[in-house]
Amino acid sequence: MLKCKFLLVCFLYSIAFYAQNEELSKITTLIENKQFDESIYELLVLEKKYPTAVEVKFKLAQVYFWNAKDDLAFDKISEIETTVTNEDIINLKIQVQQKRNQFEQVIAICDFGISNYNNPEFYHTQKALAYAALDEIDLALASLSKIEISDSNKSKINYLKKEILNKRKNFITVGYLQTNTISDDFPTWYLGSLEYARKFKKHTVIGRVNYSYLSEIDAVQFEVDWYPKLSKKNYGFVSLGKSNDILFPNYKISAELFHENKAITASLGGRKLIFDQSDINMLTGHIGYLFQSYKISYRGFLIFQENQDHSFSHLVSFMKKFDEKDTFIQLEFIYGNAPYFYYTTNNFSTLSNYRIGLLSKFKITDSIYGQPNIQYEKEEILPNNFREKINLQVNLIYVF
pLDDT in tens, 65-81: 988 899 999 998 888 87
The Cα-based distances of 222 to 58, 194, 233, 244, 371 in angstroms read 60, 10, 30, 9, 22
Distance CA 141, CA 147 (A): 10
Average pLDDT over residues 336-360: 71
φ and ψ at residue 53, rounded to 5 degrees: -70, 115
The Cα-based distances of 263 to 229, 230, 336, 352 in angstroms read 19, 19, 28, 33
15 band by pLDDT with thresholds 50, 70 and 90: very low
Between 389 and 352, name the one with better pLDDT: 389
Judged against a pLDDT cut of 80, whether residue 306 lies above it is answered with no
Specify the pLDDT at position 79.
87
18 band by pLDDT with thresholds 50, 70 and 90: very low
- Residue partners of 273: CB distance under 8 A and separation at least 6: 249, 251, 252, 279, 280, 281, 282, 343, 346
Average pLDDT over residues 137-146: 93
Write down the mean pLDDT value for the chain. Answer: 87
Distance CA 372, CA 374 (A): 7
Reported as a single tens digit per residue, the pLDDT across 168-218 is 999 999 999 999 988 777 889 999 999 999 999 899 999 999 999 988 889
% of the chain beyond a pLDDT of 70: 89
Instruction: Quote the pTM value.
Output: 0.77
Q: Find which of 41-50, 66-75, 354-363 is predicted with most confidence, using mean pLDDT.
A: 354-363
Q: Find which of 145-159, 194-208, 346-360 is predicted with most confidence, using mean pLDDT.
A: 194-208
Judged against a pLDDT cut of 50, whether residue 8 lies above it is answered with no
Judged against a pLDDT cut of 60, whether residue 11 lies above it is answered with no
Reported as a single tens digit per residue, the pLDDT across 20-34 is 566 666 777 777 767
φ and ψ at residue 279, rounded to 5 degrees: -115, 155
**DSSP string for residues in 282-315:** EEEEEEEEEETTEEEEEEEEEEEETTS--EEEEE
Cβ pair 303, 282 in contact under 8 A: yes
Give the chain's domains with CATH numbers. Answer: 14-165 (1.25.40.10), 170-399 (2.40.160.40)
